[in-house]
Chains A and B, each alone.
Chain A
């Protein structure tokens, strides 16, 4: 059991905080415009797709926790090494490391694109990316407790945004949801698969598990976190489906932001200006947790200090953002990443669980 992670009690977090971790990692840039992608597949039954992927995520999490409990105090990287041996295990870990890094990168460039499109067309990419990276570095160097703290406050301070949906609800027409279940079942599943990029994030559980103080109580917060996310997506998709016409929805890239733009207060109009900037608080835990997960993977393989790693990582990410120029590039990155993420987040845990079971049976 050489892959056991020894965590000092000060670095541990309470189980119920995993609720915030799971939820805030799931909600990120995907929610800005997932409606169009699902609508292309399952039309007005898009909300079924959300429901399906929500339920699937619950199932996957059950499997994840079962696997993790089999190897107490291991994270995914440790389990990989334990199950596949050092060489193949490390190879998979490298893939997972790159997965986390690409997740980080795609969240970053998507947010940069939203900022540039909606508010500051002339603000340079490198500036936005450098400032965000500095915030990430500052958080990351505080350790896991600070990262979890950021995700806690991110949830607490941004939760009210969901109630802003009341404004577009006034103009929505429930008729556009009908006829229900007209799409083929396979289309609904395709829509669910297209949701991958939006709903992933709960795989952070694999990495954060050894850092949880009371591991027995972890199920409840994780499932509540998933449930809140699913309900939130469901609310957003239902409002979007009823507010926009089908034709409109398939042409709106950031449907959620378009929903925000009709919000009006006596002292404030064009709410999306505020919302897009406020979104920084929502993507911050995303970025921090992914880079933390990547760091966990790397420290298992090579000896690198957290400080060195984060600066190196940030520099590379900053350089890479220079190559991203157009919407098409970002879209293709999202698509490819979504495809890969589907296998890593939804298929691999099942595979790993079965293998771990078999291995345990064989050795005992």
Chain B
């Protein structure tokens, strides 16, 4: 029995080692540690981005933050430096204002009205003042001084005007970028009857201001990060500081800063990059274009992400059942809201399993259909030459094609698609004898049901996973359907959203949260934030008596 003892001793030593290592880690505050790491990473990524946009030579310099490229005090040298670093694009304008002052900007990125009214006259009026004096004389909201050439170039390309004075090693950055964005409009993909009718647009600043208008508190915290080596896209993380879980903010920030991507063009791309399981078809973060839905999430202790140039905001963590909740449910009376939620959720089941059940029953299990139903069924199928699985797949495919065509075509043509589809499928297909009437009802019903999902992303998944289940049903009947069902169930249990269970609040069971899940109980009973958002403050508001007169 010598060896086991020895082994156990080894194990103890090993344990001790890991323990000490842990201690070492714990010694430093994990918060600050992560924070510095992030800061460093952020800097690094920014520098990398610049090196790509400037020249390859600078790459070695970027690793040492001490050897920053500095601004040359000499006018001619500075001009050539700027032209070299920016690759001298044709829209780079260099303007000599006075003998000493030189102005650089990218045409169309800066607001020419502000430039002409508030910058040029001021510089002309005070030709002798130093750049730091000029900074206070300029009547524009944001002006900074910098000695860092790389930063200056980056700012130049995000819409700042550089003002350089001969003999000074600093440059004045006047941020006068134009904010071109489309006007606010009603959210097209997530319309609702009762509730606000405004959606996000593509401008980050507009979106932030929209959120700020809903939640007017210093508690609303906005953290800015830059993502994308080439695109340098600004990404904002929004959360309520006194409510959102600190740990989750750290995780999210870590995931975003760890991204090594070239460009970030849309928030849905970001959502897929940073979610827990990118292999799953199910979205684990909510994409919404409704500011009220976004703010609702923030108020529940969740984290929001806004991406510059994207009209869809991201909310996380988001559980599976919450994808089937609409913001409108809060605006309706609770029995109606509960009814609608139940309707929507049963629509999901209908949408996934109705066609497979038809296929399975007609292929293998004629016995389960009552005789009174069997007669019309077999009558309508009498002329159909295909087995049920082919028939169902064909019709489902036609419906999906119609939907896809409707989504891609311009609205004016889109209407004709509806008519063509309606006539072709409704009458012609049956008369031609390639499908049965009853299947058309079933397929239309399941297509209709899939459109009730308030999240477009989730609706797509619901429609897509129907196909493998139809195939399973066509080959192995109810057994196949059950295989698909069990697989989906296990898959959903396995998923997580930002570390919180995807099946919350059902599993792990949080009974109190069930009040606002598949149903919605009256507001006095749903005053708690969901457990899955790990909010610091559990209560949204004090419970009110349900019946004020009696109490």
Contact = CB atoms under 8 A, between A and B. Distances in A.
Interface of A: 2, 13-14, 16-17, 86, 115, 119-120, 123, 128, 131, 135, 138-139, 142, 145-146, 149-150, 152-153, 156, 264-271, 273-274, 276-278, 280-281, 284
In order of increasing CB-CB distance, the 8 nearest A-B pairs are: A277-B478, A149-B493, A270-B367, A277-B482, A142-B494, A280-B482, A149-B507, A270-B368
Given A149-B507, A153-B507, A280 B493 contact: no
A316 to B, nearest CB: 22
A2 B370 contact: no
B13 to A, nearest CB: 15
Given A2-B8, A266-B370, A274-B368, A120 B507 contact: no
Nearest to A140: B490
Contact of B367 (A135, A150, A273): A273
25 contacts: A17-B508, A119-B479, A131-B483, A139-B490, A142-B493, A149-B493, A149-B508, A152-B506, A153-B506, A156-B506, A264-B370, A267-B369, A268-B368, A268-B370, A270-B365, A271-B368, A276-B478, A277-B478, A277-B482, A278-B482, A280-B479, A280-B482, A280-B483, A280-B486, A284-B486
B487 A135 contact: yes
Contact of B490 (A16, A115, A138, A270): A138
B373 interface: yes
B339 interface: no
B373 A267 contact: yes
A135 B490 contact: yes
Contacts of B96: none
Contacts of A273: 365, 367-368, 478
Contacts of A17: 508-509
A280 B478 CA distance: 11
Given A153-B507, A267-B370, A277 B487 contact: no
Contacts of A281: 482, 485-486, 489
Contacts of B477: 119-120, 277
A152 B507 contact: yes
Contacts of A13: 508
Given A123-B476, A142-B494, 15 more contacts: A115-B479, A135-B483, A135-B487, A135-B490, A142-B490, A153-B507, A264-B370, A266-B370, A267-B369, A271-B368, A273-B478, A274-B368, A277-B482, A280-B479, A280-B486
Nearest to B485: A281
Given A17-B508, A152-B509, A268-B370, A277 B493 contact: no
Interface string B319-341: 00000000000000000000000
B489 A269 contact: no
Contacts of A284: 486
Contacts of B493: 142, 146, 149-150, 153
Contact of B489 (A16, A131, A150, A268): A150
A150 B490 contact: yes
B531 to A, nearest CB: 12
B481 interface: yes
B503 interface: yes
Given A150-B490, A153-B489, A284-B486, A274 B507 contact: no
Interface of B: 4, 8, 364-365, 367-370, 373, 476-479, 481-483, 485-487, 489-491, 493-494, 503, 506-509
**Interface majority SS (helix, strand, loop, mixed), chain A:** helix
A131 B4 CA distance: 41
Contacts of B487: 135, 138
A269 B476 contact: no
Contacts of A139: 490
A142 to B, nearest CB: 5
B241 to A, nearest CB: 26
B190 to A, nearest CB: 29
- Of the listed residues B8, B365, B503, the one surrounded by the most CB atoms of chain A closer than 10 A to its CB is B365
Contacts of A153: 489, 493, 506-507
B479 A277 contact: yes
A138 B280 CA distance: 14
A303 B348 CA distance: 44
B351 to A, nearest CB: 18
Nearest to B365: A273
B367 A269 contact: yes
B479 A14 contact: no
Interface centre among B479, B485, B503, B508 (most CB of A within 10 A): B479
Contacts of B503: 149
Contacts of B490: 135, 138-139, 142, 146, 150
Contacts of A115: 479
Contacts of B478: 119, 273-274, 276-277
A123 B479 contact: yes
Contacts of B369: 267-269
A277 B485 CA distance: 11
Contacts of A2: 8
A331 B349 CA distance: 38
B370 A269 contact: yes
A119 B482 CA distance: 13
Contacts of B508: 13-14, 17, 145, 149
A284 B487 CA distance: 11
A93 B189 CA distance: 59
Nearest to A128: B479
A280 B477 CA distance: 14
Contacts of B4: 86
Nearest to B489: A153
A264 B491 CA distance: 33
A150 B476 CA distance: 23
Nearest to A10: B499
A217 B414 CA distance: 61
A189 B373 CA distance: 49
A123 B478 CA distance: 13
Contacts of A16: 509
B3 to A, nearest CB: 12
Nearest to A115: B479
Nearest to B357: A274
A152 B479 CA distance: 21
A271 B367 CA distance: 9
Contacts of B8: 2
Interface centre among A86, A115, A138, A153 (most CB of B within 10 A): A153
A265 B364 CA distance: 19
User: Which of the listed residues B373, B483, B487, B507 has the most CB atoms from chain A within 10 Å of its own CB?
Assistant: B507
Contacts of B507: 149, 152-153
A276 B494 CA distance: 26
Contacts of A131: 483
Contacts of A156: 506
A152 B490 CA distance: 11
A47 to B, nearest CB: 31
A160 B15 CA distance: 49
A26 to B, nearest CB: 20
Nearest to B4: A86
